[in-house]
Structures are given as C-alpha cells and as structure tokens.
Amino acid sequence: MRTAEPGRGPDGHTAPGGNTAQDAHPARSQGTFGHAPSTDPVTPTPWPDITTTPPASRPRTAVTAALVRKALARLPLRARFAGAPDIGKGGPLIEVHDPAAFHARLGTSGLVGFGESYMAGEWDAPDLVAALTVLAGHVAELIPAPLQRLRRLWAPRHPHAERNTPDGSRANISRHYDLSNDLFALFLDDTLTYSSAVFRGFPADWDRLPAAQHRKIDRLLDLADVGEGTRLLEIGTGWGELALRAAARGARVTSLTLSREQRDLARERVRAAGLADRVSVELRDYREARGEYDAVVSVEMIEAVGVEFWPVYFRALDERLAPDGRVALQAITMPHDRMLASRDTFTWIHKYVFPGGRIPSTRAIEETARDHTRLRLARRDSYGTHYAETLRLWRERFTARADEVTALGFDEVFHRLWTFYLAYCEAGFRAGYLDVQQYLFTKDTRQHEESDRP
C-alpha cells in the first residue's frame, strides 16, 4: 500500500485504460511474485513452494509442533489440529487440516511457511481477521526468547536482487503495481486510491469510501498548503487521484511513479479531466527528480524505499523543496523495537506481495529527517483504526467479486494469497501492531541560509 491508486474501479466496471483479461503477466503463469518462472519448457510449476510440501526431518517437525502448541496454548484463541482437542484459552478458531504439512512449513520457513500453509489450504479460520489479530497482538511472544536472539541464524534473509537501488526499485514496484489494473479495479473505489482513507465515523461503509479517500487527500494537500500556483512534486503517483485534486486547486503538479501501468492510467485520467496542462506524470525514480517545488507530497511511499535508502529519500525531499516549503507524508509505521528485531528478516509479505518493502517506526522517520535534512517535524497525526476499516472494505469487496478475479486469469492459490494479505494487514492495524501517520515537515530556512554562506 502506498500512494498507489491501484486501478481501482467503480462498481461493475474497471478503471479506464486497465488491462484486459487477456493481458499476460508473470503472476498468472508463475503464480507468485517470489519465484522466477520455471525453466522447464514442458511442465512449468505455477506455485512451486505451495504445491510441494518442503522436506523436513521428523525431529525438526516434532520440535516445531511442540513449540507451536506451547505458543498457542497461551493465546486467547482456539487451535484445532485435525479433530484433536482444542488448544488455547478460547477465542477465534484456527483449524489445521494437515498438521504434518503445517509443521513442516513452519519448521523450514517460519512465518513465511505459516502464510504458505494458508495458501496451500492446510489451515483456515472462520474469522481470519480475528485469528490473525490475536497473533499480531502477541507477535513478540510467539517465538521463544532464545530463538529470537538467534534470529539471524534461522530467519530467511532478503535476496540481494531486491535491494531498492534504482533498478531494484523498478523491478520491485512492477511486481506488485503492474500486476493488473483490472485486478485492483475490482476492489478499489472510484477514486482508485490504494492507501488509508480518513473516515468521519465507524463502522465505515462502502458508499462513504470515496469521500473518505478525498478527505485523506485534501488533508494532505491542506498540510502542504497546496493551492493556486503551487509547484507540487508528488512522489508515488498511484493512479493519479491526488494529482487530479491538486491540479483542481490550481497547482502545477509533477508526479513520479515507477509503474508503467499506473503511469499510463494516471495520464489517461488526467487527459479525461482536462488537466493535462497542469499535471505531468513521469516514469522516474525519486532520486532522479529535478527542480524546485513549493510543496512535496508522498503517500505510503517510504515503505517501498528500504532502510538503507531512507536517508537518500529524505535528502531528495529536502533538495527538491524550496525555502519555506512544506512536505506532507503519509506513512505506515510499526513499533521501533519490532522494526529493529525484524529489519533484516525476509517475510511472507516480501516474498509474495511487496518485494523490497520495509515499514519504518515513527522514531526512524523522525530521526532520519532530523539527522540527514533541514526538514523539521511540525505535526504528526495517526489514523490506524481508519486503515483497518479501509482494508476491511477492500477485503470484503475482493471476496464478493471472486468470480471476476478468476475471470481475469488468477487461480485459487492467488485468491487465498490476496485474501491472506488483506486480512493480515487489517489484523496488524486492529491489533495496534501497525499504524498510519500523516506528517507535516517544514524546511529550516535559518539552517538553509547558514549553509549558503561562504
């Protein structure tokens, strides 16, 4: 999720310019973002890590089973292993249909294996979000402390190819956002906005989602003081809704994206709105931005930057911003201690949904801006419960339109992958493990003046 406005479309139709069901995409032939296509020209395997249970020794599987049962016994849920008595203190139910495969996957791949086991249909939950919310709320307790300290030895590491260098970022972004505009159009609203909305009240409902997305965008534009004549740089175009609303205020917008699908659809929407003279959508990395702007806005983009490039990202914001300019950011965040504990870990989300991604903490964001730029924090507001509701609406929409997802060429494993992804993220926000912030940064003009002195 980021400032993307993933080709989301209105009820019953796809976003203009979206892909057709006949469009080829690796995710349909490979089945997963996390694997290269099979080199076998005769019998390619769509989901190699799902269709085959990983080999695991009996001792490893037995130890894994004991650790899992001990962890689940302390939680407020019920875990049922192939008809055996329930484990846990009571609460949402998790049903494990194939305990041997389930434990083999966890024993060899940890939490990556937990997600893959769901994709394989080896476990399920009548209320998936509720079960995952319990797990998210106790994530620090699931792995015994001795194993936590040895995380570097047993946890999978990020593939070097997924570093967010300019070329790596292009490949990482494409694997998610170029998947299919038609797919995103099935579960997003008319605004085509793929980031948290801001609602007036709860529970949220579908009919109010477009207004809630506009409320979020307008608040960011207000924070950045965007109006008539503002020179605005947007880093992360999405499908163009923020650029359109900024241009309607009289701003002149340069919007950057690494997704060809998003760029093409955003440009089409800009032309259709008669705003092509005010909005330029460019296929360009944030590191390649040039010029000076009165305001910079970036929505849920920092999560795709990568830890090693956070200083580079913030310096780019600083360098592009005019003196007395304003930066408005929307960012997903996590607790600082959990960020540090997991920062080098390769997760299920990385493998199947957002390669190269890394969620920062509020402390990491604020310290990076302070230590590497002339930007100064002026305001921060959190909206985590709003993201949980946004995700619920997307998830329910995705489920309701499952037949249309299939018609686009996506199989049952992909259905379970995206169901798990949307529920997994929603649970993170409901548990408070994840949050979303809107930031306002201003430029320290005194420091700017001092740096210009001979």
User: Known catalytic residues?
Assistant: 425
In the numeric block, the tokens 């609460």 are attached to: 91
Q: Over the range 407-445, which residues count as b (16 or more CB within 10 Å of their CB) and which as e?
A: ebbbeebbbbbbbbbbbbbbbbbbbebbbbbbbbbbbbe
Beta strand spans in 70-138 (E): 78-81, 93-96, 123-124
The DSSP secondary structure of 109-126, one letter per residue, reads: HHHHHHHHHHHTTSEE-T
Classify strands 252-257 and 279-283 as parallel, antiparallel or unpaired. Answer: parallel
For residue 129, give the amino acid letter: V
| Edge-to-edge order in the sheet of strand 93-96 | 78-81, 93-96, 123-124
CA–CA gap between residue 355 and residue 353 (Å, rounded): 6
Joined together, the tokens standing for residue 393 give 């609406």
Question: Rounded to an integer, what distance in angstroms lies between the CA atom of residue 280 and that of residue 266?
Answer: 10
Report the candidate in 242, 303, 342, 297 with the shortest Cα–Cα distance to residue 435. 303
Question: Residue 42: CB partners within 8 Å, gap ≥ 6?
Answer: none
Bond from prior residue into 203 cis (ω within 30 degrees of 0): yes
